[in-house]
Chains A and B, each alone.
Chain A
Amino acid sequence: MFHIYCPYCEELREEEEFHPKGQAHIERPKDPEACSDEEWGDYLFFRDNPRGIHHELWVHAVGCRKFFNATRNTVTYEILETYKMGEQPTITAESLANREALGSVQVAGGGQQTVGASNASVASVKGVKA
């Protein structure tokens, strides 16, 4: 069960109050009519599907009903931060990799139940570019 911090309610609430709504920060093309089939198809259907840090949209469906963003690790499921619509994440795969390289933070890599996960995939979980 996730405990998710709603940036509008400013409280930790249980997962069942929320719905995940997919990848965050997707911008609707300003002039859809001007899009090529490729651009429009990419906008509609193609999503980032990283093994590791993912920025996603959630809605506090049975709470304040507001949409907000979350940065979450898709392997450990750790929620690293939540932030309001229109804001940018302070934690990204790149920033984590940099901070870990400096030794100032250790990223949890535990709790995986992935069959045959190798060092390479653990590294990718930690956001290290292989």
Chain B
Amino acid sequence: MQRYSGFGLAKHALSHHENWERQWRNPTPKKQYDVIIVGGGGHGLATAYYLAKEHGIKNVAVLEKGWLGGGNTARNTTIVRSNYLWDESAALYEHAMKLWEGLSQDLNYNVMFSQRGVMNLGHTLQDMRDIQRRVNANRLNGIDSEVLTPEQIQEIVPIMDCSKNARYPILGASWQPRAGVARHDAVAWGFARAADALGVDLLQNTEVTGFKIRDGRVFGVHTNRGDIEAKTVGCVAAGNSGVLAKMAGFRLPLESHPLQALVSEPLKPILDTVVMSNHVHGYISQTDKGDLVIGAGIDGYNGYGQRGSYPTVEHTLQAIVEMFPIFSRVRMNRQWGGIVDTCPDACPILSATPVKGLYFNCGWGTGGFKATPGSGHVFAWTLAKNQAHPLAAPFSIDRFHSGALVDEHGAAGVAH
């Protein structure tokens, strides 16, 4: 792998940047691997990377039916935070946050992780009670978190309408300064390049059409490019997890919904943090390019078409314009949807399955991007050792039968 550096940039400038080597190979599938990862998004690529780096398992294939990072990795609103309520989820997301903080150096790839802070607004007394409870829980778990007054909010975001005359007056907010945003595509590409350099085969346009199962044990997959064998298979397929589970002969407690986002035309820098509101259901940040990135809610119905409905867009923009009257005449450039696999308790599933050797990492719902490195890290551990990583153990699929749910609807909320 050609390492990226300032010196390298200067050197390549001399040859007009025409001689950069490809970031990853495009190999033909081998007949057999030690581990197969189904799904070449951020989580799948991170899993492959940590398998190779931390566990020395380099005979790994990542099977992707489209192109790398072309699903929800390319469609999310790039927010990273770890202010979750319960110990189990706070530990998992904080694990990810710590990996984020060194990720660019680790991957030798600038993922543009910018810790610009994330603010969750409260508009009612109950909102404020929930915020105070969550902030206290965060602090007990060693996560930076504080409660802001409307005056402090106004100081951080001068363009927001914090007056008492707003339709839903802002009473306060929770604030995580270490949270922020990262460049979503760079995360997928960085993990892909680093995994490829360690010997992982990234197989694009390779769709899994079935599993090879004998005596309750998986030993490979059928794909549109022929059969590939492996004793361990990890599925990291987000919205399509349920379809894969059906192929393997069991059900998951997931429902797939369209989740939308939209970006505006590029503007000069005007918003240097992330603002989200569960109550009015909208959230917004500004990219380095200048676009406002706005996230909408999910459509309530099940759907696999990667698009959403217009009423949802309208509701979100109403909320944004109410909070930021200055944006009322900003034009929107693009709008799209991704398919999120939502769990009844708004927490992921990182689990063994009824089929031996087959593991699922799914159910991240509306907020998987922030967990990308942490999810890959603990899932790689789980695949390598054939037992759940301590941080993954509470997220076993058994919880839907034992009743030990991790209810994160409040912290997951609108904030993705």
State the A residues within 8 Å of B (CB): 1-2, 15-16, 19-20, 22, 37-38, 40-42, 44-51, 54, 56, 72, 74-77, 111-116, 118, 120-121, 124, 130
Contact with A along B191-215 (1 / 0, CB 8 A): 0000000000000010101000000
Nearest 6 A/B pairs, CB to CB? A116-B66, A115-B66, A41-B401, A49-B242, A20-B301, A45-B253
Asked whether any CB of chain A lies closer than 8 Å to the CB of B305, the reply is yes
Question: 28 A-B contacts, Cβ less than 8 Å apart?
Answer: A19-B300, A37-B401, A37-B402, A38-B401, A41-B400, A41-B402, A42-B251, A45-B344, A45-B400, A46-B400, A47-B254, A51-B304, A74-B256, A74-B301, A74-B304, A74-B305, A75-B305, A76-B305, A112-B305, A113-B307, A114-B304, A115-B66, A115-B67, A116-B64, A116-B66, A116-B70, A118-B207, A124-B243
Q: Which residues of A contact B400 (CB under 8 A)?
A: 41, 44-46
* Interface residue B163 (Cβ < 8 Å from any Cβ of A): no
Within B276-334, the residues touching A (CB, 8 Å) are: 299-307, 309-311
B71 at the interface (CB under 8 A from A): yes
**Within 8 Å of chain A (Cβ to Cβ): is B255?**
yes
Is B209 within 8 A of A130, CB to CB? yes
Nearest B residue to A111 via CB reads B305
Report A94 CB to chain B, min CB distance, Å.
15
- Hey, which chain A residues are within 8 Å of B224, CB to CB? 118, 120
Q: Report the minimum CB–CB distance from A104 to chain B (whole Å).
A: 26
Name the residue of chain A whose CB is nearest to the CB of B339: A114
Q: Which A residues touch B209, using CB under 8 A?
A: 120, 130
Q: Give the complex CA separation of A45 and B256 in angstroms.
A: 14
- Closest CB in chain A relative to B25 CB, distance in Å: 19
Contact B65 A118 (CB under 8 A): yes
Among B64, B70, B309, point to the contact of A2 (Cβ < 8 A). B309
Complex Cα spacing A14 to B89, Å: 39
B304-A116 in contact (CB<8A): no
Interface residues of B (CB under 8 A from A): 64-67, 70-71, 205, 207, 209, 224, 240, 242-243, 251-256, 299-307, 309-311, 344, 400-403
CB distance from B76 to the nearest CB of A (A): 14
Q: How far is the CB of A52 from chain B (nearest CB, A)?
A: 8
A48, B243: Cα distance in complex, Å: 10
Residue of B nearest to A77 (CB): B305
Identify A115's interface contact among B253, B301, B306, B402, CB under 8 A: B306
**Chain B, Cβ-Cβ closest to A37:** B401
- Distance from B123 Cβ to chain A, minimum over Cβ atoms (Å): 22
Q: A44-B344, A47-B253, A49-B254 are in contact. Are A116 and B67 (CB under 8 A)?
A: yes
By a CB distance below 8 angstroms, the chain A residues around B310 are: 1
Taking CB as reference atom, which chain B residue is nearest A119? Answer: B224
Determine if A56 and B301 form an interchain contact, defined as CB atoms under 8 angstroms apart.
yes
The answer to whether residues A115 and B305 also contact, given A16-B311, A44-B344, A45-B344 and a CB cut-off of 8 A, is no
Residue of B nearest to A116 (CB): B66
Chain A CB count within 10 A is highest, among B66, B242, B401, for B401
B314: nearest chain-A partner, CB-CB: A16
Inside 8 A of A114's CB, which chain B residues have their CB? 304-306
Cβ distance B74 to chain A, nearest Cβ, rounded Å: 9
Q: Which of B66, B243, B309 contacts A15 (CB 8 A)?
A: B309
Pick the most buried of A22, A75, A77: most chain B CB atoms within 10 A of its CB.
A77
> Measured between C-beta atoms, what is the minimum distance from B302 to chain A in Å?
5
Which of A42, A44, A56 is B302 in contact with, Cβ under 8 Å?
Answer: A56
Given A45-B400, A115-B66, 12 more pairs with CB closer than 8 A: A16-B311, A20-B302, A22-B255, A44-B344, A45-B253, A46-B251, A49-B252, A51-B242, A112-B305, A115-B65, A116-B65, A121-B207
Report the nearest A residue to B65, measured CB to CB: A116
Residues of B within 8 A of A41 (CB): 400-403
Q: How far is the CA of A54 from the CA of B305 in the complex (A)?
A: 14
Residue of A nearest to B245 (CB): A49
Chain B residues with CB below 8 A from A77, complex form: 303, 305
A76's nearest neighbour on chain B, judged by CB, is B305
Chain B neighbourhood of A74, CB < 8 A: 256, 301-305
Q: Separation in Å of the B261 CB from the closest CB of chain A?
A: 15
Question: Chain B: which residue is nearest A16 at the CB level?
Answer: B311
CA distance A44 to B252 in the complex (A): 12
Q: Which residues in B have their C-beta under 8 angstroms from that of A113?
A: 305-307
In the complex, chain A residues whose CB is within 8 Å of the CB of B311: 1, 15-16
CA distance A118 to B307 in the complex (A): 18
B309 and A1 within 8 A (CB): yes
CA distance A116 to B70 in the complex (A): 9
In the complex, A124 Cα to B402 Cα: how many Å?
33
Tell me the bound Cα distance from A57 to B205 in angstroms. 36
Point out the residues of chain A lying under 8 angstroms from B305, CB to CB: 74-77, 111-114
Taking CB atoms, residues of chain B closer than 8 Å to A2 are 309
Q: How far is it, in angstroms, between the C-alpha of A120 and the C-alpha of B207 when the chains are bound?
A: 9
Which of A2, A20, A54, A114 has the most C-beta atoms of chain B within 10 angstroms of its own C-beta?
A114
| B207 with A116: CB separation less than 8 A | yes
